[in-house]
Structure 1
Amino acid sequence: MTFANAFLVDEVTSKSSSKKMADFGICPGTYNQGIISVLDESLSDAALESWRWLLGQDAVALMATSIGDLFFWSEKNGAIYFLDVQRGQSTFVDRDIIFVLNRFLSQNEIQDRVLRRDLFNSLSAQLGKLMYEECFIAEPWLRHGGSGDVSTYAKGSLVVYLNLVGQAVEHSMRLERARAK
């Protein structure tokens, strides 16, 4: 199964694709009611603004999940990673973007565990379809003791959320390092 078979486009933006995604003919926009969004070049840059300290200057945000986690490309490492923003942790996925798009993301287990399909379906039923540049945000954040219960989520700006969480993660990590000294 390919990305195009597994994910139907809902909303396409007229903005230009990131260079990595343009090579594969995948348009920026929301797919499958917003369970995943392919980011345009400017949204990609803005999404990583507060994460450069952790991911490096070469990172390119490719896709966002409905809860604001990211898949990004690291030019330095020549690989795609998954960023769990609430934990501030990135996980290596693969070096082959075609594999990630056409094999990895189309697997039911990945859609259930990584894209959090059940949570997405519950949130969509409660809050409605996500628009491009939106994500579901738990209030309070999970990293700040939030329960993650469906009733604690609201829709919000993907960029604002990512920048606020990126700043909070950086602050927390600096405090942890200072305590360890």
Structure 2
Amino acid sequence: MNKEVDIFAPITDLGKGDALEAWRWLVGGRASVRLLTAMGDLFFVKKEGILKKERVYFLDTGTGEVEIASKSWKLFRELVNSGGDVPGHWFKYSLLKELSGQPLDQGNCFSPKILPSLGGEYEKENYCAVSWVVHVDISGQIHEQIRDFPPGTPIKSMNLIVER
């Protein structure tokens, strides 16, 4: 039996505050978050060009990379709702299915214990459920600090700001 898993995190407060604050250095000031996947990645929109068309972007919080997901929010919703052919890394569905025995509580997403950009693996043992706010904030701070490092650079320490 193929058990269906929810690809989005069970959250109700994504629009409160600035969910992208720790990622502004990458996404810019005009980005507005729309969705959080169960694996802790974000979809956001940004108005661009002369006509200010609203484009949809995917932010992989594990690798610190952004890519265009769709030319419009409407087209993006149609693609996801139709079960169309979406890139596998958007929802990390195979890993999410492995983690489905650990249901997410309200306000949580799955987060890597060691970010893939720091050598963490995309495997069940490297992920746990945490507050989505903590995951997004800390992953953004880490990626900002390592953004100019060549791959394989040894990291001796990091500074993180945790607010309560």
Q: Deviations over 1:41-63 (max 9, x none)?
A: 20xx4421101111111111100
TM-score, normalised via structure 1 length? 0.68
What are structure 1's unaligned runs of at least 5 residues? Answer: 1-31, 177-181
**Offset, 1:112:** 4.5
Partner SS state of residue 75, structure 1: strand
Question: 2:41 is aligned with what amino acid?
Answer: D
| CA gap 1:112/1:173 in 2 versus in 1, 3 angstroms | closer
What are structure 2's unaligned runs of at least 5 residues? Answer: 151-164
Displaced runs of 4 or more, over 4 A? none
Asked if 1:82 corresponds to 2:58, the answer is: yes
Partner SS state of residue 102, structure 1: helix
Show the counterpart of 2:159.
none
Show the counterpart of 1:95.
71
Q: For 1:106 and 1:114, how far apart are their aligned partners in 2?
A: 15
| CA gap 1:101/1:124 in 2 versus in 1, 3 angstroms | same
Q: Deviations over 1:107-151 (max 9, x none)?
A: 3542744212221111012x2x21332111121221221122212
The number of equivalent residue pairs is: 142
Show the counterpart of 1:121.
97
2:122 pairs, out of 144, 148, 156, with: 148
Question: Does the 8 A contact of 1:34 with 1:130 survive in 2?
Answer: no
Show the counterpart of 1:168.
142
- Identity across matched positions, percent: 26
Q: For 1:98 and 1:69, how far apart are their aligned partners in 2?
A: 20
| CA gap 1:133/1:142 in 2 versus in 1, 3 angstroms | same
Question: 2:123 is aligned with what amino acid?
Answer: D
**Offset, 1:33:** 5.4
Q: Tell me the C-alpha RMSD between the 2 structures.
A: 2.4
Partner SS state of residue 51, structure 1: helix
Partner SS state of residue 92, structure 1: strand
Show the counterpart of 1:56.
28
Show the counterpart of 1:130.
104
